[in-house]
Structure 1
Amino acid sequence: MKQIVVFIIGALIVQQQALAQTKQAPVIIIMCDQLRYDAIGEYTPHINELKADGVSFNRTYCASPLCAPSRAAFFTGKYPNDNGCLINGWQDEDAHYGEVKSGTLNMYGLLGDNWNSRHIGKQHFVTQDKIDKDPQSKTKWITPQTYKQWVKSVNEKAPGGPQFKAMLPELVSNKYTQYKNYSTPKYDVYKPGLQYFDDNYYTDKAIETINESKHDKKPLFLSLMYLSPHPPFDVPEPYYSKFKPEDFAIPDNIGEWYAGQSTLQLYNLTGFIGTRYTKEQWKQVWPKYFGLVSLVDDEIGRVIDALKTNGLYDKALIIFTSDHGEMLGSHSLWQKMCMYEESARVPFIIKFPSDYKPALKEVNDNVSLIDVWPTLIDYLDIDNAGNTDGQSLMPLLQGKATGRKNVFIQYDGNGAYGNNQRCIVEGDYKLIIDTFKDEVFIELYNLSTDPLEKNNLAVNIKYEAIVNQLIEKVKKHMSDTNDLLKLPDNIYQNFVTHYTTSNKSSSGD
């Protein structure tokens, strides 16, 4: 009997140790910048390896199709309205809209208690608390400033320059317009070479961190933020010449402006720059974008190899995603900053430690990047994490419903506050409310029957009930999150009234 009791106690101790090991798993987050969801495939073998070993969430949306607010939502699990970060905040008058509110709980602060927290790469998680500059921060930061200091010290230049930019108008404080300087699809070879390229530098630093982590008592939390394939398309060889236009069967909506799409995009960077390029010109741009996709995939491959070499790959929880997508000529638009699939939908993969077996390999439910942090809180059993707007995906991975019926997305301007957009994705329907000052444009798409979003159903009065139901849900979400934007009454009726007869007749079901 005594031997049985000892055996049971021993088994419980082993079980508790295994549980503790799982809860203290290394956490590796790999985030690309401006990576389209449909770029994953033929040219991403290393990301495909993660996908094969993990769970792919095929219908994932960012909370905002812009760098800073998307990352703020990702790292706090809160919608932009709730965490306070709405824009990138380049304009002085509106800079406060680009910061996460002071005291907001976030992934870096909470994981830093029990993990060795490291940030390497692009730093667009901007907080009023300036956590990346706080000497008491639990995280060690390697940022673009670190890279620029290094590349200058070796007498080379960082990618980019004025030749990759153009002037365009930007609405400031939703009141007046200024002339600003932003990127274009121009491309060129990065002459200093791959060894001086920013993402290569960040991978080197990540590998150094992984190698050193085996000596640490705490597990590693590595937040690796790549810049690719974000413009400028200043691409080092061999990636600059790796692809040719004939390598790609570009989507049908490239270089096309549809009768039902929002004309208000012409006031935004997306349309102001994007409509200057023809389908044939976009065909020349695609190989350079995918050159950067291939580059960052190879960098991720180096990180995976380092994790395997150090015995961490099987133990680690690895999250791969992008902050948003890239239009790349779809709908004749450039960059992101809109609600179409190419901009707002992102790749998202979770590879769990080998001792956890999810019930699913692929998930086709609509999920949001604000769900990532609640999922980590749930899986890692993080205490004192506070409330989030997101929902843990762990029940979904066990074959249960999450309770999420819809996904909300918002956009409030790039460097300044203005050009607001609101969006809801519910089932197969997506409703977009696009505003410019007092004007409102509405779009409704059935993503099942119209995945390229060519046919705006909102111009057809037959869909009035669906449009109004979704508008009310958007308005409730805006009210619940204390949205600064206030939509006028009867916006659908006003939209239909002001929409031209010629556009109505050119659209069908």
Structure 2
Amino acid sequence: MKPHVIIIMADQLRCDVLGRGFTPNIDSIAEEGTSFRRAYCASPLCVPARGAFFTGTYPNRNGSLINPWEPADARYGDVRAGINHLYTIMEQDWDSIHSGKQHLFTEGGKPEDRVDSGTRWFSTEKSYKEFLNEAGKPMPGGPRFRTKAAEMVNGKVTRVSSYSNAETGQYEPGDMYYFDSYFTEKALEGLKSRNSEKPLLLNAMFLAPHPPLHIPEPWYGKVSTEDFRLPENVGMYYPRQSPLQMYNLTGIAGARYSREHWNEAWRVYLGLVGLLDHCVGRILEELKNQGIYEESLILFTSDHGEMLGSHGLFQKMCMYEESARVPLYIKFPKEFVPARKSYDQVVSHIDVLPTLCEYLHMESGNEMDGVSLMPLLKGEKVDEIGGLALIQYDGNGSRSNFQRCMVQGRYKLIVDLFKDETFYELYDLETDVQETNNLMFDREYDGIAKVMAERLTSHMKATGDLITLESFDGEGFRDRYERFPVL
């Protein structure tokens, strides 16, 4: 029989909260398998991040660029017809089970709405709402946990939207009515009713630790402010980071909070991370109880990260490490042992599906942009795979703010665009992990920035990007921004 495959995806999980005592179950996946320390999402936003992860293609290529909340721009949230994804590739040969958040949007309807779907959809956000309605319980969150923000539709019309903020509180209905507790129960229900004559495919998609930071006990009071220390860049808006972030939700929501408030937000966020880890542990325990843990490929990741006050920003939607870098842990069945316990090469979420296809001997049915990491895992081409990640952001609920990014080796180039304005950031990730020193203001780095900008431009053209970049001009950039006072 083919291996069982379990995909566990968190939502908005920072890499730097793992391995610190809050996540023993998640950490065990890396300890018993391997980890990629420099893995990046293809877009730091839920829908396009998942579109890229599940298809092995860049957002430009598959068409899923934004969260399709604004009807006028909703078509930009769908993966184009004719592009296969993990479900369609695997659901005929595997007993395909899904439980949890489902933010993969496809042209013609969501995967769970397909009449020919071979996946059993044990829970989605829609079924969770129905569960709460039947129980007479409110959703976590509410007006206090949301902030109004201006959002442009296709760069032409401004709307006022409402998105989660960093307020905190205890969810009184209790743990059994919380998102991820419900998703876990449904995942376990699916596992216990699986078809034992076929290999298992479980997609367990959690909402945690995505806001609202309105969580139940015991998780709300689980973490003390004495249990952690805030990173130095939390609550800090650095003079030469992009001012265009203030047009985006990240700046609108994040700039209002003091470092003292971020301390409380971190406390509750880490409690939510603990809840996530507990849910993951229950799934791992059931796999062991059924005697299929050793024969399972278990992959843990997050769709993207969370700023949580770093750079004075909140949520994701930007290219800093806290937002764009993701955990990527893989435990293989016992007969395959990766060449290394961890890898420092830069890799992308779009490499995951090609890797699964090679290991599981599957055909994707269409071309993918990602490359298989199996040669790297086998120790055959350690220096030839990885080293480059290309990331894009095209707006949240509509096409509005745009960012493009390339991570190559030790350097990261970020291009931030709003209307007719372009701002560049260049960071050395080896010497400046928290990205506090924008090297674009040092002309000695113009050569590196120019090469990266040209390669990024070539990538955008090759993938059919809907926007274009101006020709790189380091001196012109500095002339524009050095004349303005630093606040």
TMscore range, shorter length: over 0.9
In the other structure, the counterpart of 2:420 is 438
Matches within 5 A, 1:371-450: 371-399=351-379, 400-401=381-382, 402-450=384-432
* Mapped pair 1:79 → 2:58: yes
Whether the aligned pair in 2 keeps the contact of 1:56 and 1:348 (CA below 8 Å) is yes
How many residues end up aligned between the 2 structures?
482
Matched position secondary structure for 1:293: helix
Q: Deviations over 1:151-197 (max 9, x none)?
A: 21122222122221111111210223221111110111111100111
In the other structure, the counterpart of 2:5 is 27
Whether the aligned pair in 2 keeps the contact of 1:63 and 1:408 (CA below 8 Å) is yes
Residue 110 (structure 1) aligned to one of 75, 82, 89: 89
* Mapped pair 1:306 → 2:306: no
In the other structure, the counterpart of 2:346 is 366
In the other structure, the counterpart of 1:3 is none
Q: CA deviation at 1:489?
A: 2.5
Q: CA deviation at 1:404?
A: 3.3
Residue 144 (structure 1) aligned to one of 119, 125, 144: 125
Matched position secondary structure for 1:132: helix
What root-mean-square deviation, in Å, do the aligned CA atoms of Structure 1 and Structure 2 show? 1.4
Distance 1:129 1:459 in 2: 47
Q: Deviations over 1:7-60 (max 9, x none)?
A: xxxxxxxxxxxxxx3xx1111000000000111021001011111111111001
In the other structure, the counterpart of 1:128 is 107
Whether the aligned pair in 2 keeps the contact of 1:440 and 1:491 (CA below 8 Å) is no
* Mapped pair 1:68 → 2:47: yes
Q: CA deviation at 1:487?
A: 1.2
Q: CA deviation at 1:503?
A: 6.8
Q: CA deviation at 1:394?
A: 0.5
Q: CA deviation at 1:384?
A: 4.8
Distance 1:129 1:223 in 2: 22
Matched position secondary structure for 1:228: coil
Higher Rg = 1
* Mapped pair 1:289 → 2:296: no
In the other structure, the counterpart of 1:323 is 303
Q: CA deviation at 1:490?
A: 3.8
Letter in 2 for 1:266: M
Q: Deviations over 1:181-235 (max 9, x none)?
A: 111101111111001111011111111111222x431111111100000000111
Distance 2:25 2:139 in 1: 26
Whether the aligned pair in 2 keeps the contact of 1:120 and 1:206 (CA below 8 Å) is yes
Whether the aligned pair in 2 keeps the contact of 1:259 and 1:503 (CA below 8 Å) is no
* Mapped pair 1:183 → 2:161: no
Tell which deviates more after alignment, 275-284 or 483-492: 483-492
* Mapped pair 1:256 → 2:230: no
Identity of aligned pairs, percent? 48
Tell which deviates more after alignment, 34-43 or 203-212: 203-212
Q: Deviations over 1:379-400 (max 9, x none)?
A: 0000353211001111111122
Matched position secondary structure for 2:112: coil
Q: Deviations over 1:322-350 (max 9, x none)?
A: 00000000000000000000000011100
Q: CA deviation at 1:497?
A: 2.0
Distance 1:205 1:326 in 2: 26
Letter in 2 for 1:35: L
- Pair 1:384–1:498, CA change in 2 (3 A): closer
Q: CA deviation at 1:459?
A: 1.1
**TM-score, with structure 2 as normaliser:** 0.97
In the other structure, the counterpart of 2:213 is 233
In the other structure, the counterpart of 1:336 is 316
Letter in 2 for 1:252: E
Distance 1:503 1:155 in 2: 54
In the other structure, the counterpart of 1:164 is 145
Tell which deviates more after alignment, 426-435 or 353-362: 353-362
Matched position secondary structure for 2:416: strand
Matched position secondary structure for 1:188: strand
In the other structure, the counterpart of 2:257 is 277
Q: CA deviation at 1:312?
A: 1.2
In the other structure, the counterpart of 2:180 is 199
Q: CA deviation at 1:501?
A: 4.6
Whether the aligned pair in 1 keeps the contact of 2:350 and 2:369 (CA below 8 Å) is yes
Whether the aligned pair in 2 keeps the contact of 1:366 and 1:407 (CA below 8 Å) is yes
Tell which deviates more after alignment, 495-504 or 177-186: 495-504
Residue 467 (structure 2) aligned to one of 476, 485, 493: 485
Distance 2:399 2:483 in 1: 33
**Runs (5+) with no aligned partner, structure 2:** none
Q: Deviations over 1:81-102 (max 9, x none)?
A: 0010000011111100011001
Matched position secondary structure for 1:320: strand
In the other structure, the counterpart of 1:15 is none
Matched position secondary structure for 2:335: coil
Q: CA deviation at 1:415?
A: 0.1
**Runs (5+) with no aligned partner, structure 1:** 1-20
In the other structure, the counterpart of 1:4 is none
Distance 1:418 1:502 in 2: 25
Distance 2:385 2:288 in 1: 36
Whether the aligned pair in 2 keeps the contact of 1:77 and 1:372 (CA below 8 Å) is yes
Distance 1:397 1:26 in 2: 19
Matched position secondary structure for 1:386: coil
Whether the aligned pair in 1 keeps the contact of 2:63 and 2:80 (CA below 8 Å) is yes
